[in-house]
Structure 1
């Protein structure tokens, strides 16, 4: 599987569930940003340098990103498993985000080299 590496440092932040979509989110032009609302929370993932965490209930920083290249058909199965399993076997935790087109996997910056080696050894191609 082809994966694209984004070494940008990302932060995942939790806000109250009625937090309005902020202007700084709307104007961010990075390759990846995500906002998700549930009844319990609003989660925002953005490059650390662009994320305003003043109103955040909690934050988790120092993540990098891998994007699964190409558009994934909804009938495909096991795509995320093929990435998550070798990483889990090496005790590398992930934070996965799915979109209509593809999946994104965030991992801690401290695991960058180990994750790349693990995924390459599992047969995945990684580009920057």
Structure 2
């Protein structure tokens, strides 16, 4: 059965803050939001529209969700999803949650990523701004 990917239309960005710094803005809305802390940095993925002016950012990105839930111990799914993008020389950010995997594709490369996944036999569907395709 081909892998099913769901493209979310919202633009997201990744924000870099100093290590241990709490975000001073609401970063929790959108199809995907993440806060990751290390001793050296705090990185936040959030809707691009929520990023405060003057923040150090990269993006915009489009969020692509692997239809799940996936078995937690399943091996090779992320590699299967990323390989067509490696072959197309598209740089991405990847995340895993308990239930599934997520790929952030630069917005300008989103159409090329979709084409690469479809060439690889994957089923890619858009989601709406008001809800998912589940």
TM-score normalised per structure 1: 0.89
Q: How many residues align?
A: 124
**Helix, strand or coil: the match of 2:39?**
coil
Asked if structure 1 preserves the Cα contact closer than 8 Å seen for 2:20 and 2:38, the reply is no
Secondary structure of 1:83 counterpart: helix
Q: Equivalents in 2 of 1:19, 1:3: separation in Å?
A: 34
Once residues 120 and 93 of structure 1 are traced to their aligned partners in structure 2, the CA distance between those partners, rounded to angstroms, is 17
1:5 maps to 7
- Equivalent residue of 1:24, what SS? coil
Q: Hey, what's the Cα distance between the residues in 2 that align with 1:40 and 1:125?
A: 38
> Helix, strand or coil: the match of 2:20?
coil
Which of residues 14, 23, 26 in structure 2 aligns to 1:24?
A: 26
Q: Deviations over 1:10-50 (max 9, x none)?
A: 1111101121243512xx43221111111111100011101
- In the alignment, structure 1 segments of 5+ residues that lack a partner are none
CA distance in 2 between partners of 1:100 and 1:42 (Å) = 21
What is the alpha-carbon root mean square deviation over aligned residues?
A: 1.4
1:109 CA displacement: 0.9
Q: Which runs of structure 2 are paired with 1:99-118 in the superposition (5 Å)?
A: 99-118=97-116
**What corresponds to 2:63 in structure 1?**
65
**Distance in 2 between the 1:14 and 1:106 partners?**
16
Task: Flag the structure with higher helix content.
Answer: 1
C-alpha distance in structure 2 between counterparts of 1:84 and 1:29, whole Å: 26
Partner of 1:77: 75
